[in-house]
Structures are given as structure tokens and as C-alpha cells.
Chain A
Amino acid sequence: NAGVTQTPKFQVLKTGQSMTLQCAQDMNHNSMYWYRQDPGMGLRLIYYSASEGTTDKGEVPNGYNVSRLNKREFSLRLESAAPSQTSVYFCASSDRTGFNQPQHFGDGTRLSIL
């Protein structure tokens, strides 16, 4: 019962470095999402993929890129990390069979940019 798996769990980067956060789900879900959560706040959507082969911007896409590698995997890339991107990143998935579907979350990647 893995659900949504994120790697790595923790990462420290220097300003300007690049990094890819990995996410995989084993529930055969169509839709996948990347969020960031800053201290004491709710989640903000960075990018999402409604189905394999499609990606769209969310609320805060600047500084990020994504790849929907296949139905299972959705990666998030920081090309040139900035201190403002220090956050906890969550990946989620949902079954897009119809409306009114809950999202299933991974346990997050805690990213610090120095």
C-alpha cells in the first residue's frame, strides 16, 4: 500500500543549484499535482497534470518545470534554486474518472535553499 511516494525526503541546496523532485503513484490515477507549503500556511498549487501527456500551470509556477514521465510518475524541477523556494513540497494524485474525487498525498520533500 505505497500510495504516493516522494523522493528525496530532505534536501539542502545552494542558491543557483538545480534539482529534480520525484513523485510516483501506484493507484493508477490519471491526475497528479505538485504543491508547496510554507510555514503556517495551506498548500499552493505549482503545476498539475490532468492526464498523462498534459501539464498545466497552477497558482505559483514561476521558477519550476514539470515532466509527466508516464502515468505513474510526475517530477518537479528547480532549474536555479532561490532561497524563496525553501518550502515543503507535496505531490498528490487523484482519479480523474469523474468529478468529486479526493486527492492522495505523499509525505513531502523538505527543501532548504541556502
Chain B
Amino acid sequence: SQQGEEDPQALSIQEGENATMNCSYKTSINNLQWYRQNSGRGLVHLNLIRSNEREKHSGRLRVTLDTSKKSSSLLITASRAADTASYFCATDEVKAAGNKLTFGGGTRVLVKP
């Protein structure tokens, strides 16, 4: 079963535009993480937001978390062709042991030059 569900499943934008993707989850979490996966590669950690945080910024990335709605968003500003990738949210659930993560199905982002 997948804890996180991402929306949209796919996104196509022009270089310079902003890209926003959302993640919804079902159970209580310790934190929510966002990862990027380039074609044919492993996942790369982008950001971690704890359950008591509401917003985090890292360069061109902004992550929000609304625990009352059990949702998170990832915003990429001023997108570049190199941002073309799949983006996954993952939840670290309160009830899970061993720092396990549950991944969503991902959003495929295409940035056109």
C-alpha cells in the first residue's frame, strides 16, 4: 500500500515557470521527505520537513506541510531543463519502526527548454 499519493502524476512546463506538486498521506507522521529521481538513476534526497514544521526553503525549492489536511507540497521556482525528473514524497510514519519510509507513486516533471 502507498501512504503518499502525488498529484499530478505528470507535469509539463516551460523553462522558467514554476512547478508545483502535491502529496497527500493517511496516517500520523514523524516527517515527510521529498526525493528526485533522474531517469535511470537512484533517488536523491531533496528536503525533509518535520511534523512540527510548516514550511522549509532550500534554494529554488519550497516545501510546505499541513498536518491537519495530511498534505504537503513541493514548489520548484524558475525551473530549468535539468529539473526534468520524477519527484517522490515519502512519509516516516509514527507507528513504523526502523526509520522506514513509505513512498508515493511520484510526479513526472518535464521542463521544456
Contacts and interface: CB of A to CB of B under 8 A. Distances in A.
Contacts of A48: 98, 100
A41 B8 CA distance: 13
B98 A56 contact: yes
A101 B42 CA distance: 17
B1 interface: yes
Contact of A104 (B4, B45, B50): B45
Interface stretch (A62-70, A76-84, A105-113): A105-113
Interface residues of B, number: 27
A105 B44 contact: yes
Interface in B12-64: 30-31, 33, 35, 40-45, 48, 50
Given A99-B30, A100-B31, A100-B92, A94 B99 contact: yes
A59 B103 CA distance: 11
| Residue in A35, A42, A92 whose Cβ sees the most chain B Cβ within 10 Å | A42
B31 A99 contact: yes
A17 B30 CA distance: 40
Contacts of B103: 35, 42-44
Contacts of B92: 99-100
A98 to B, nearest CB: 9
A103 B88 contact: no
Contacts of B88: 42-43
A103 B101 contact: yes
A42 B2 contact: yes
B48 A100 contact: yes
A107 B48 contact: no
Interface of B: 1-2, 4, 30-31, 33, 35, 40-45, 48, 50, 88, 92, 97-106
